[in-house]
Amino acid sequence: MSNSFNFSNFSRQSSKGVLVIYINLIYNLIKFTWFLLFLIIKDFTKLSNSLGANYIYLGVAFILIFLLIRAYLVYKNFQFKIENEYFILKQGILKKTNTAIPFHRIQNINFKQNIIQQIIGVFEVSIETAGSSATEIAIKALSLSKASALKELISKSSILDKEVNIDHESKPFVKIGFFELFKVSLTENHLQNLFLFFAIIIGFFQQLQQIDYSFGEIRFFDDLIEEGTNVLTTSIFLLSILLFTLIIMALISSFVKVFLIHFNLTAYLKEDAFEVNQGLFTKKSIVLKKQKIQNITISTNPLKRLIGISFITFKQAVSGKLNQKKDKLIRIVGCKAAQIEVVKKSLFDATELESKQKFFPDNYYKRKIFIISFLILVILYLILYKISNSVEILYSIILVFPIVVFLIHKKIKKRYYKISDSMLLVGRGLLETHITYLEIFKVQNIKMKQNVFQQRSNVADLILQTASGKIKIPCVNFKDAVKIYNHTLYKVETSNTSWM
């Protein structure tokens, strides 16, 4: 396929890219000036009377024409080629820039299609490197054949390990349909959406009150609110209806979010790579080379376990300034136990690690969590008592105290680690359980920290820095911490295996 295109000379993206760039410029303008646009639309009649409607229309037309000219110049000056296993890019209008990226630094070549790109039949190709905090290069509009040829040519580089050949006719090892996505949405964190809708309702009533004030009918609205408040506080039925409505809205919003992001999720397993395809309005196709995956995290919670699913998060190398870059945390949702085993076996041999004993933090960790939690509770109740000036507020401690103790117990129970000769497993979580698998030779550096209180208890924190971020093992017995520290340094120094 790559022979059909000559990448040795500078070439441009598809001419349809002008439209994609133009729409993107308009979108960014609206995103950064939406409040100003809202004020203009709201007071359009007044502005048109004072300035004249024709001048407003001319101003809008001038901005649109200016953005169109800018889009064309961006398209015209965006040229790329491949030379001596370097991807070379020229871009810029007034300020010209030349970028050269060696193939060995390229971590991902991903395809993406938003709704506009789907309509006009082009793909966005993003090229990411391990050390960048953002997408290094984004080619907004290429045909599928040219985009595939570009990816194939870079993948065939002698510097890269092997060629990544993606056969879409092969059977995916994970395929998530509509019903499976519905089950995934049921296991999402609905509390966040619940509080969001509750805040929206409170804000809605505040807006109504402000509107009522503007009409000078303050007393009428206050009486209405007071009457409604009395009804709500005395009617369990109405409160139940409100809570039920908020829960339904939270569930629906979770499903819509999951459906839009993970629609038609399929994951393919190849000899040296994973390919993940998903998305409805914005389709994404991401190829993950196994060698460049730093570690994986298996996430579950009680509801997920009941349904029999877990999430797998692949972590790749990211810039140290942005360890939580979402685009580089690739997640496969709704995985069954057998599918998780397929992923683990394709990346590493965890048989020895799984059979190892669990090591939990020292009792110092438990004491620290309890002391900090109870100090926070005391401060919180002092503030509540100060605000309410009512001793009845303290009665809620009868309910809150057992919940806090239960959550602390769960947090401590889920904090553990296992270690074998070549691998490390770290467990953590509160309501959810996250288990991270890391090959020790991929550790870039390791730190052992002790504060004054930890020295007295003869414990230390271990912090393992990887290319994808930090992994912390808290409150390890000092002798064990020294052993892990020395073993990790030994494995890192003696390993000849490339971690990238």
**Mean pLDDT value of segment 272-278:** 87
Confidence label for 413 from pLDDT (cuts 50, 70 and 90): very high
Residue 448 β-bridge partners: 462
**Do 21 and 132 belong together in one domain?**
yes
CA distance 285 to 113: 9
Q: Lowest-confidence range among 65-74, 210-219, 491-500?
A: 210-219
pLDDT-based confidence at residue 211 (cuts at 50, 70, 90): low
Confidence check: pLDDT of 462 > 90: yes
Q: Is residue 31 in a domain?
A: yes
Burial grade of 441 (CB within 10 A; 0-12, 13-18, 19 or more): middle
Average pLDDT of the residues in 160-173: 56
Structure tokens at 355: 């059979």
Task: Measure CA 400 to chain center.
Answer: 32
Average pLDDT along the chain: 82
- Is 379 in the same domain as 490? yes
CB-based contacts of 374: which residues, under 8 Å, 6+ apart? Answer: 404
88 shares a domain with 26: yes
- Domain assignment of residue 116, given as a range: 2-155
Average pLDDT over residues 167-179: 79
Per-residue pLDDT band for 237 (boundaries 50, 70, 90) equals low
* pLDDT interval class at 231 (50, 70, 90): very low
Q: What is the pLDDT of residues 74-119, one digit of tens each?
A: 999 999 999 888 889 999 888 888 888 888 777 777 888 888 888 8
Pair (125, 35) in one structural domain: yes
Per DSSP, the residues of 138-188 read: EEEEE-HHHHHHHHHHHHT-SSSSS-----TTSPPSEEE-HHHHHHHHHTS
Q: Which helix (H) or strand (E) holds 69?
A: helix 53-77
Q: With respect to residue 125, please indicate whether it lies within any of the assigned structural domains.
A: yes
What pLDDT sits at residue 246? 77
Q: Are residues 113 and 253 in the same domain?
A: no
Helix (H) or strand (E) holding 14: none
Of 243, 261, 279, the last residue of a domain is 261
What pLDDT was estimated at residue 197?
64
Residue 167 lies in a domain: no
Total domains in the fold of the chain: 3
User: Shortest CA distance to 268 belongs to which of 173, 344, 155, 176?
Assistant: 173
Residue 234 lies in a domain: yes
pLDDT at 330: 86
Instruction: Assess if residue 172 is contained within a domain.
Output: no
Mean pLDDT value of segment 265-292 = 87
Q: Read off the pLDDT of each residue in 157-170 and give the average, rounded to a whole number.
A: 47
Backbone angles phi, psi at 6, to 5 degrees: -100, 105
Q: Give the model confidence (pLDDT) of 23-44 as tens digits.
A: 999 998 888 887 777 766 766 6
Q: Select from 119, 124, 174, 120 the least CA-distant residue to 150.
A: 124
* Per-residue tokens: 137: 């290069």
Please tell me the distance from the alpha carbon of residue 275 to that of residue 111, in angstroms, as a whole number: 11
456 pLDDT higher than 60: yes
Pairing mode, strands 174-176 and 137-142 = unpaired
Cα 78 to Cα 71, 74, 125, 132: the distances in Å are 11, 6, 14, 20
Q: Is pLDDT above 90 for 359? A: yes
pLDDT at 169 over 80: no
**Are 499 and 368 within one domain?**
yes
pLDDT of residue 285: 86
Q: Measure the CA–CA gap between 169 and 266, rounded to whole angstroms.
A: 12
Residue 222 confidence (pLDDT):
52
| Residue that finishes a domain, picked among 261, 296, 326 | 261
User: Which percentage of the chain shows pLDDT scores above 70?
Assistant: 79
Q: Is 458 left (phi over 0), alpha (psi -120 to 50) or beta?
A: left
With respect to residue 416, please indicate whether it lies within any of the assigned structural domains: yes
Calpha distance 193→377 (Å, rounded): 25
Amino acid 72 reads: Y
pLDDT band at 205 (very low <50, low <70, confident <90, very high): low
Among 216, 242, 261, the domain-final residue is 261
CATH number of the domain residue 392 falls in: 2.30.29.30
pLDDT for the residue numbered 321: 47
- The model's confidence at residue 467, banded by pLDDT at 50, 70 and 90, is confident
